[in-house]
Structure 1
Amino acid sequence: MTNPHRTTVLAMLKLCDLVVVVSAFMLAVCASSNQTSWLSVLEVRIELRNVIFILIYLGYCHVILQSFGLYQSYRLSPSSREWRDLGTAVLMLALPPLLLGTPLHFQFATSAFLTAFVAFGLCGLGIERRLLRALARLMRRHGQNLRNAIIVGNGDAALEMASRLAQRADLGYHVVELIESDGQMEIAANNGGGTHAVVGRIAEIIASRPVDEVFVGLPLDVGQSLIRSIVSLCEEQGITVRLVSTVVDPAFAKAQVDEVDGHPVITIFTGPPDSLPLAMKRVIDLTVSLITLIALAPLFALVAIAIKVDSDGPIFFVQERVGFNRRRFKAYKFRTMVWDAERRQQVLEALNEAEGPIFKIRQDPRVTRAGTWLRRLSFDELPQLINVIRGDMSLVGPRPLPLRDVSRIDVIAHKRRFSVKPGITCIWQVNGREPRFEDWIKADMDYIDNWSLGLDVKIILKTIPAVLSGRGAY
């Protein structure tokens, strides 16, 4: 998209944003007051001070939406990032009416107004941007809204990046030139060989035609000097540079750029990023756990009585388990075995029926009568809701392993399951709890690599019939 076209589209987007915000404002006033129509709201609220407030507020809205980056390109960004920015911006937009409502005697400035405004604002701006994204992708597939890009890389790396951009027409990139750079030339540049020929070629292209971005995919061990020269050249002319990581394995690792005291730091991680969806996951964990604990309090009492009547020993079984980033915590369960079950396990090791480092026996002689039906219905796991509230666990995640099992994991890649909080339920559990450890680990890795709030909800909904069927529980 040319600059004049981009300027026009941005102006239209900003105007639409202000219309959506004002509409959300009016809807929130209606929803949080006794007014039944927009007309009645307008009749009551049109005063000079309100008009002045609205004009100042519209300027504030523009500044907030601009400062949170909502008019930047999200071409290569995940939709979760845009939703996070939108959510934060809408909360900031709701503050002035709420904070100034009392001093200015606005009757609508209530918590109900805040809730309604955030809901209407987020929905309105979100739908608007979904439509804009869909329109942009359609335009790009038809050769419009394209960005001219140069790709610099070593052989296969450069060709692979060019191929990816060509396959993803919806991203809207037109590769104007592919510059391959061999390692020997880079080593010469690093040893003080002067301006690299690649940099000179990039300068020629920039001088002869519009260039929006430069993708650089060079190995760090030989390309540092060349990368610095390319960044310096593009920085001087306001051209975006995207460094294609040759360190991160795209099979599972992810990367993001953070800042430490003003210095850019590339963060490489394998679990879900710290983001709004992850914060929402924690809110869901707390809300569902508290409600479930309160609702099932009578059931807890009945289970406690059954355990005490059935066998000697405590009601709860407390065992040290390994959680997020290999931190140890005490996991709570209803006791389903005899009180000295852990001591007896050493004698039963030869009877282990599970593959890999885990220990499981279908007809475990240590299980009590009450424990048999508790395990079949997975009621023994319910006290782990306390662990969820404490922050040791989540509702959904890889099952927490005892120290004995963790010490026997000898495949380094399997330890990636500790990059997220363990959970009460997981994919393995709802899919029949197959005894093969490799299947269990594969299910955990799939969950970590493809995590989303939607996946969590799907697993929770599948857990209910899985628990009632008792399939694979022993």
Structure 2
Amino acid sequence: MEESVRPLTTEEPVAHLDLPPAPASPSPSPSPRRATGSDRTPSTAWEGRYRAWVIASDLAATVVVILASAVIIDGLAFDHLHALGTALAVMIALPANRAWHQQLLGEGAEEFRRLGRGLVAAAVLVALGGLLFGALDVQPWVFVVVPVIAALAFPQRYVLRRVLHHRRRRGRCLLPVMAAGDPGTVGDLIARTKLESHVGWRVEAVCTGDGSAGAAGNGEVGGVPVVGRLGELADHVRRGGYRVVAVTADQYWTPKRLQQLAWDLEGTKAELVVAPVLMEVAGPRLNVSGVFGMPLLRVTAPKFTGGRRFVKAVVDRVVSAALLLALSPLLLLIALAIKLGGRGPAIYRQRRVGRDGDTFTMLKFRTMVRDADKVRSKLVQANEGAGPLFKMRKDPRVTRVGSVLRRYSLDELPQLFNVLSGHMSLVGPRPPLPEETESYERDARRRLLVKPGVTGLWQVSGRSDLSWAESIRLDLRYVEDWSLALDVVILWKTVRAVIGGAGAY
């Protein structure tokens, strides 16, 4: 999500949807795109407008917070030096940390990471300025004003991103993409762009090794026309106005040919993207470096211990304790509703598998009738779950109160006690049943390298509507590419997923 080699998927996954086709356009068919009469690729107008909105929102948040803080802190005779210095620090730190960089806006957690890094740098600049100019009373501006700016800027960025993603789901604000490579790998790329429209790519033309669609034989790959050979790629890009050139695996691509392609695309605004073979590895584990004049893609091993994991463990316990305290009245009301709704305990206890295969007792609010597990054998034929999971959209064992709790995931709240005890994390893979793990293959067992979570990528990407393979893929992506920023994004998205109730049954 933040690496220089742009990934095919982002750390900010959304619910997988069957996207509607883009609205009809009065212009000619874009495949191949019309000639521009120029060797320069035209800019997409919406990009500049969106970036302007992002910058304006950040500056507006800065100005409003600084003016309000100046009046509150210093009264009517506020100190202009503090206000101007803080504003100047923000305006220097954000662009210096590439918080307004075009390619980062609208996708992935890196946009928010850069914004946070820029505001931290601004606070440091204010503190250093106070020491330099002898203004030792800048503490409120460092520890209050800048954090308040962040509290306003982050939600504004999120709202703008939601507007952009909504437009992309409707087929607007998309970057025209030329894909080049083997028909199989290109087809996978096309499927991903359709499934995850928030990335903002729309593959409009394809080049293959021999200019054909391979075994399909109909001149199209994934519904996208093949317009030429790989050797003709640069000419098609110059004529067609594509903003992204996505190169996928093919035996045609040698280091020399890729270098020549990069040279041929100079002078255009087309972004050259080379998809690595490691499709599911992204984020902080990928780094590109030059060794002996060769670009090398370095893939670091995932870290399951260390300082960041310690911070995650501390945050888990502190946040779970705070949530349990704040939600205690709601927990009592839910327990009372379950008891009044029928016989049986309010809390359901079930053995689950945690980190390194250790089992623990997971707590949930009871949503089914008593002895529901004994009835399960009679419902096997109606199973709608993926893989070894047992799920039914209309499970007759679910009580009336339980259906409401499941709809909004309120039955999961007692798992905060599991987080507090250290058996679970706020964010992580789905906690499996012991019988599920018995059928795990080698890749699925990697889910057990970290603590299971109350929420995770599976929670914000469709929950029970996901296939077994997709569920495994999302959990492995989290295990391999975990970061604190990704946890924050998932927690933020969980609120929206729970309110929407998609895939909850």
TM-score tier by shorter-chain length is 0.5 to 0.7
Counterparts in 2 of 1:454 and 1:10: CA distance versus 1, 3 Å: closer
| Secondary structure of 2:245 counterpart | strand
User: In the alignment, does 2:243 pair up with 1:215?
Assistant: no
Of 24, 34, 56 in structure 1, the residue corresponding to residue 65 of structure 2 is 24
Q: Indicate if the aligned counterparts of 1:140 and 1:146 stay in contact, CA closer than 8 A.
A: no
Counterparts in 2 of 1:148 and 1:293: CA distance versus 1, 3 Å: closer
Counterparts in 2 of 1:323 and 1:199: CA distance versus 1, 3 Å: same
Q: Unpaired segments of 5 or more residues in structure 2?
A: 1-41, 213-227, 327-351, 363-413, 457-467, 479-486, 499-505
- Which whole-Å deviations, capped at 9, do the CAs of 1:88-109 have from their partners, x for residues lacking one? 2222222222343355454752
Q: Normalised by the size of structure 1, how large is the TM-score?
A: 0.52
- Which whole-Å deviations, capped at 9, do the CAs of 1:259-318 have from their partners, x for residues lacking one? 26556536499999x9x9x998545314146779999xxxxxxxxxxxxxxxxxxxxxxx
| Secondary structure of 1:101 counterpart | helix
**Which stretch shows the higher mean deviation, 85-94 or 126-135?**
126-135
- Which whole-Å deviations, capped at 9, do the CAs of 1:323-358 have from their partners, x for residues lacking one? 75x5x999999xxxxxxxxxxxxxxxxxxxxxxxxx
> 1:210, CA displacement in angstroms?
3.1
Counterparts in 2 of 1:7 and 1:134: CA distance versus 1, 3 Å: closer
User: In the alignment, does 2:110 pair up with 1:69?
Assistant: no
- Which whole-Å deviations, capped at 9, do the CAs of 1:168-211 have from their partners, x for residues lacking one? 77655565532122599xxxxxxxxxxxx945412222443433
- Which whole-Å deviations, capped at 9, do the CAs of 1:198-225 have from their partners, x for residues lacking one? 4541222244343322011224x66444
**1:20-59 alignment, distance < 5 Å:** 20-30=61-71, 33=73, 35=75, 40=76, 43-46=77-80, 50=81, 54=84, 58=87
Counterparts in 2 of 1:146 and 1:82: CA distance versus 1, 3 Å: same
1:3 & 1:443 partners in 2: Cα distance?
33
RMSD of aligned alpha carbons: 6.2
**Could you say which residue in structure 2 is the equivalent of 1:258?**
286
Counterparts in 2 of 1:283 and 1:383: CA distance versus 1, 3 Å: closer
User: In the alignment, does 2:452 pair up with 1:453?
Assistant: no
Q: Which amino acid aligns with 2:110?
A: R
- Which structure has greater helix proportion? 1
**Could you say which residue in structure 1 is the equivalent of 2:445?**
415
Q: Indicate if the aligned counterparts of 2:185 and 2:248 stay in contact, CA closer than 8 A.
A: yes
2:239 & 2:426 partners in 1: Cα distance?
57
1:455 & 1:7 partners in 2: Cα distance?
27
Q: Unpaired segments of 5 or more residues in structure 1?
A: 185-196, 296-320, 334-378, 428-440, 461-474
Paired positions, count? 356
2:157 & 2:289 partners in 1: Cα distance?
36
> 1:17, CA displacement in angstroms?
3.0
> Is the radius of gyration larger for structure 1 or structure 2?
1
2:44 & 2:302 partners in 1: Cα distance?
38
Q: Indicate if the aligned counterparts of 1:254 and 1:270 stay in contact, CA closer than 8 A.
A: no
Q: Normalised by the size of structure 2, how large is the TM-score?
A: 0.50
Of 79, 83, 94 in structure 1, the residue corresponding to residue 112 of structure 2 is 83
**Could you say which residue in structure 2 is the equivalent of 1:350?**
none
Q: Indicate if the aligned counterparts of 2:174 and 2:202 stay in contact, CA closer than 8 A.
A: yes
Of 130, 141, 146 in structure 1, the residue corresponding to residue 159 of structure 2 is 130
> 1:127, CA displacement in angstroms?
0.7
**Could you say which residue in structure 2 is the equivalent of 1:467?**
none
**Could you say which residue in structure 2 is the equivalent of 1:95?**
124
2:113 & 2:51 partners in 1: Cα distance?
20
> 1:236, CA displacement in angstroms?
7.0
1:410 & 1:102 partners in 2: Cα distance?
59
| Secondary structure of 2:177 counterpart | strand
Identity of aligned residues (%): 18
User: In the alignment, does 2:185 pair up with 1:157?
Assistant: yes
1:95 & 1:233 partners in 2: Cα distance?
43
Of 196, 207, 215 in structure 2, the residue corresponding to residue 179 of structure 1 is 207
**Which stretch shows the higher mean deviation, 238-247 or 133-142?**
133-142
1:136 & 1:330 partners in 2: Cα distance?
40
Q: Which amino acid aligns with 1:45?
A: D
**Could you say which residue in structure 1 is the equivalent of 2:235?**
204
- Which whole-Å deviations, capped at 9, do the CAs of 1:414-472 have from their partners, x for residues lacking one? 3122242346x689xxxxxxxxxxxxx99995983688225878999xxxxxxxxxxxx
**1:67-466 alignment, distance < 5 Å:** 67-74=96-103, 78-101=107-130, 104=133, 106=135, 109-110=138-139, 114-124=143-153, 126-128=155-157, 130-131=159-160, 134=163, 138=167, 141=170, 145-162=173-190, 165=193, 173=201, 175=203, 177-182=205-210, 198-219=229-250, 223-225=253-255, 226-234=257-265, 239-248=270-279, 253-256=280-283, 258-259=286-287, 264-265=296-297, 267=299, 282=313, 284-288=315-319, 326=356, 385=420, 387=422, 394=425, 397=428, 411-422=441-452, 445=472, 448=475, 452-453=490-491
Counterparts in 2 of 1:61 and 1:156: CA distance versus 1, 3 Å: same
Counterparts in 2 of 1:293 and 1:4: CA distance versus 1, 3 Å: closer
